[in-house]
Structure 1
């Protein structure tokens, strides 16, 4: 059994990860950690997740706690990333990272950590989304020179970053296929007299509403037809199961930076 340590256990994804570990045939909960000031410290992790008791109490994150797991999973906040990576490095533990909205500096932290420990970093851990990344590259190679390309994404009202990390991953996959620099060709909003659409641009549209778990569409439109590649997630458990698949795979890898495409054998 692989012991999984969950950082940010009181978050929406943290609770679902606890549930996923409980239901996975090859994993068990090593620890479930929260901030030192959290009122959840001392609560059974299963009760926190709304499932059966796990006999693992929620604890503050520390060097000693990190040592009790074989692999760490971090779906916390960007501002916690550096500390979480330092703890993983100190304990020489592989880490799966699903935190989005990261800055260039924070991405560099991940790159540096991967020189010493195995790291999986992905914007989205669902199998369907990672297959979609392959599909949009194929569509771009066939239609990209003639089509207007737009990416539409929707998430729940509580999501703090926009566009989503997954939408950006889709954009990068398309741009790289077409030999474009996404930082120069992306359009993140249109208002007023925006002028005729430039054929080189890749547009992004963002929806934030209710409890949408995650909807993503890549639209390729010409003057005579359009192709839409869409993925819709109905449960966060999809992402949690994918993260556990990554964790089990990562335990057997050498140091380095890996993607979910690597985990699934899609590259």
Structure 2
């Protein structure tokens, strides 16, 4: 049986890509799409109901999984609406504050909720193997990261960069909020041993590149993930939606739950 899916922001870059991926997936069905009032023109080609208010759309589609790549406050509002109606939600929005993430966890305790700032399978696997690499290399290796995205990206560092930095910080029993460095300028002195640098580059139409550097005595290891297309994230979100369908609440699910090593 195919999984009914509702896509938020169907005219956006990610929303349109997700709609296409859902329609091309034999195990999924585009049940409805939601756009802002005044922005629904031209969506008839999708062949599904088009709404402007998620709260009025959901009662017509019990059990449908919502996919949301919008903005932090909008995603939280949509998660609340989904919880009130008992619909699962998959969120790929980046830039959520720690407080907003905490609210998502509270919602997830009672309603099936999934959040991943990067939906790619490759990044999910990296989050699981980088901590082991960090532990095996030991404290003699300095850790730095460079992330590169298109010139329209609003948040920096990227949500993916922060997730990757968090997983290696935790592998050393460090708090990223204490050891993360996101800008260097002037005479700053020698690099502290307990530090993880994350540098941001923006330009062109780059979908996303993250390179982690492990720099030790006489050698350097580089681990790079490159996203060639938004299709990667859209496919991951559809995969997550099919996995989440029928799940109960209890925790804030992530790609690691879908792609377990």
TM-score between the two structures when normalised by the length of structure 2: 0.94
How many angstroms does 1:64 deviate by? 2.4
Task: Tell me how far apart the structure 2 counterparts of residues 163 and 135 of structure 1 sit (CA, whole Å).
Answer: 21
* Cα distance per residue 1:15-71 (max 9 Å; x no partner): 1100110111111111111122x33x24325xxxxxxx3312532023221234410
Uncovered stretches (5+) of structure 1, i.e. residues with no partner: 46-52
1:248 paired residue number: 242
* Cα distance per residue 1:189-214 (max 9 Å; x no partner): 10111111111100011011100001
Checking the alignment, whether the CA contact within 8 Å between 2:54 and 2:78 is kept in structure 1 is no
Checking the alignment, whether the CA contact within 8 Å between 1:156 and 1:210 is kept in structure 2 is yes
Task: Tell me how far apart the structure 2 counterparts of residues 213 and 236 of structure 1 sit (CA, whole Å).
Answer: 7
Q: Check if 1:3 corresponds to 2:32.
A: no
Task: Tell me how far apart the structure 1 counterparts of residues 54 and 105 of structure 2 sit (CA, whole Å).
Answer: 23
1:154 paired residue number: 148
1:23 paired residue number: 24
* Cα distance per residue 1:66-91 (max 9 Å; x no partner): 23441011110012123211210121
Checking the alignment, whether the CA contact within 8 Å between 1:147 and 1:199 is kept in structure 2 is no
1:44 paired residue number: 43
1:56-67 pair list within 5 angstroms: 56-67=48-59
- Specify which structure has the bigger relative contact order, considering alpha-carbon pairs within 8 angstroms and separated by 6 or more residues: 2
1:13 paired residue number: 14
1:20-169 pair list within 5 angstroms: 20-36=21-37, 38-39=38-39, 41-44=40-43, 53-69=45-61, 70-169=64-163
Task: Tell me how far apart the structure 2 counterparts of residues 249 and 211 of structure 1 sit (CA, whole Å).
Answer: 31
TM-score between the two structures when normalised by the length of structure 1: 0.92
Moved beyond 4 Å, runs of 4+: none
Uncovered stretches (5+) of structure 2, i.e. residues with no partner: none
1:50 paired residue number: none
The DSSP-based 3-state class of the residue aligned with 2:46 is: coil
